[in-house]
Amino acid sequence: MLLISVEERPNDLEADGSHIEDKNGHSKILTRLETVPDIKRDTSGITTQYIATGIVNLGAFASGVCVAWTSSALPLMISGQYETQPARSSDVFTSNNGTHTKIMLTETEASWVASLLCLGALFGAVPSGLISEYFGRKKTLLYLALPLVVSWILVASSPNVYGLYVGRFVSGVAVGAFSVAIPPYIEDIAETNTLPALANFYHVHFAAGVLFGYIIGLVQSASWLSVLCASIPISFFIGFIFLPESPAYLMSQGKFPEAKAALQYFRGIDNDVDSEMKELKEYVRNYGRNKVTFRQLFTSRTTIKPLIVSFGLMIFQQMSGIYPILFYAEKIFKNFAISLNLSSATIILGFCFVTSMYFSTMFLKKFRRRVLLLISFTLMALNLGTLAMFYHLKASNLSAHNTWVPLSTLCIFVSVYAVGAGPIPWLMLREIFAPNVRRRATALTAGFHWFFAFGVTKLYQSLIHLVSPGWTLWHFAVTSLIGTIFVYFFVPETKGRTLKEIHNEFDGIHKRKRHRHVIEVETVSVQ
């Protein structure tokens, strides 16, 4: 709140004002101004939108931590050095002091611990869009903090591998729900000119969470790791509970005064929101009138081709091996026998990931989507191919041990992924689908994304043992190259184009400008 003082007039005293006297003895009254937000007088609302987006994306930050946790935790579990609270089980080894138990996993069990996060995300992503429509964006997001906290308690206190399975699956449900529920809230509160930048906050915070997870991996204690990880969803809950509900949801529930107050909160005290309220009311009315079911997504000509494009991009995004690299970063560096400390190498990898994701906002403003996707998939394939060749040379003793080749190639890989193949498939969902089908199409595509993430992460360890790490990297490289071909032939350009123009390209309709040729004819009179 901002307090201003005005001189007291006999019949103009406010009941809730506070009286003071100035140096001359004149009575004054302190009048409250309802400012937005409380921390400062934000007349434009831009600051409020950025702060709110940063707070809600603590959920994305928590998701990144869940992904990075396995990189440092799984090697400890495989070697039997991961300590949890005491329990009685045949799966644990009691430490000498008797106050902790050590869990020892096989490679197969470790792959389940990693991949069950993605399987849980599949079950959280698909229904979360519908749940947020009925119960509200804010309620849905707030309640997602609970399963994350519970999951970290389970991971810290689990007496055996099955407790880890349950904990990872539960955290995955929240991670998948965050991936679907956060973007609509940001879309509802952001202005048109700030939406592209704010929409990328999700990916930036996710990458920052990965880096944070790698950093806290230096703590070789299950209890402290879980406490640090659980602090993120708790902070999210505390910060987000003070933000208002989405104006669009309040409007859909017929709560017009509350919707206007929420919109005024995000637009600033000096902006007139009446015209935007009319547009919002019309949007909500049209959305409710033209809402489609999941079944209709597969039967309408206007949605089948966009679904194919979005599914295809998610397939090649995941088949490039991004999640196995993030999940098993320490183990991958260990396979290449780098001389650098493994934790330091993963932190460098995470730093490249988050900085590239941050600067991707600038690239998305300046360059076309197709160009960035083509460059991204091509460079990803080249770097994976280079790393695969280096592995074969090292295995054949034709190359000496080198720390910087695997580190630099993987850093370049995650960097070019962050510029194109990472955020653009999610960004294009808002550009290739009509507003009345966007929410359900996003939920379906997100579920497809997490299904392939689960498959690739689970089968990665099997591929390593079956064909060696080198041939596994070749598989990811070839898949990324095929992704480049898919983008070139099937993905339309969406930057700076209307939805109708994009759908016309899907239908094979290319409207060209007609050129008018003017021929001047000189008349000659014959005498």
Tokens 């089968």, residue? Answer: 459
The better pLDDT of the pair 442, 104 is held by 442
Cβ-proximal residues to 71 (8 Å cutoff; 6+ apart), any chain: 213, 214, 217, 326, 327, 328, 329, 330, 331, 346
**DSSP alpha helices (H): ranges in 241-368?**
247-252, 256-267, 274-289, 294-297, 301-319, 322-327, 329-335, 342-366
**Rounded-to-integer distance, Cα 43 and Cα 272, Å:** 11
Evaluate if residue 504 carries a pLDDT over 90: no
pLDDT over 80 (residue 263)? yes
Does residue 421 register a pLDDT over 60? yes
Is the pLDDT score of 370 beyond 50? yes
- Whole-angstrom distance, CA of residue 39 vs CA of residue 36: 8
Any idea which of 211-225, 382-396, 474-488 has the lowest mean pLDDT? 211-225
Mean pLDDT across the stretch 225-229?
A: 88
pLDDT digit string, tens, across residues 341-350: 889 999 999 9
pLDDT value at residue 27:
45
Encoded tokens for 286: 């049209």
Averaged pLDDT score across all residues of the chain: 84
Q: Which pLDDT does position 28 carry in this prediction?
A: 42
- The answer to whether residue 4 scores a pLDDT higher than 50 is no
Domains of the chain by start residue, with CATH: 43-79+102-243 (1.20.1250.20), 297-511 (1.20.1250.20)
State yes or no: pLDDT of 122 exceeds 80.
yes
The predicted pLDDT at position 33 comes to 35
The answer to whether 120 touches 173, Cβ cutoff 8 Å, is yes
Task: Report the alpha-carbon distance of residue 313 to residue 353 in Å, rounded.
Answer: 20
Tell how many helices (H) and how many strands (E) occur in the chain: 23, 6
Helices (H), 191-267: 195-199, 201-216, 222-240, 247-252, 256-267
The answer, yes or no, to whether residue 511 has pLDDT greater than 70, is no
Q: What is the pTM (predicted TM-score) of this model?
A: 0.85
Is the predicted pLDDT of residue 105 greater than 70, yes or no? yes
Q: Which of 174-188, 291-305, 449-463 has the lowest mean pLDDT?
A: 291-305
User: Does residue 13 sit in helix, strand or coil?
Assistant: coil
Given a cut of 90, is residue 118 above it in pLDDT? Answer: yes
- Amino acid letter at 274? D
Average pLDDT over residues 510-515: 48
Band (83; pLDDT cuts 50, 70, 90): low
Query: Which residues are registered as beta bridge partners of 32?
Result: 3
Rounded to an integer, the average pLDDT of 37-64 is 81
At 350 the three-state DSSP class reads helix
Q: What is the pLDDT of residues 142-195, one digit of tens each?
A: 999 999 999 999 998 888 889 999 999 999 999 999 999 999 999 999 988 888
Determine the pLDDT at residue 510.
53
Contact 316, 480 (CB under 8 A): yes
Angle between helices 161-189 and 201-216 (to 10 degrees): 150
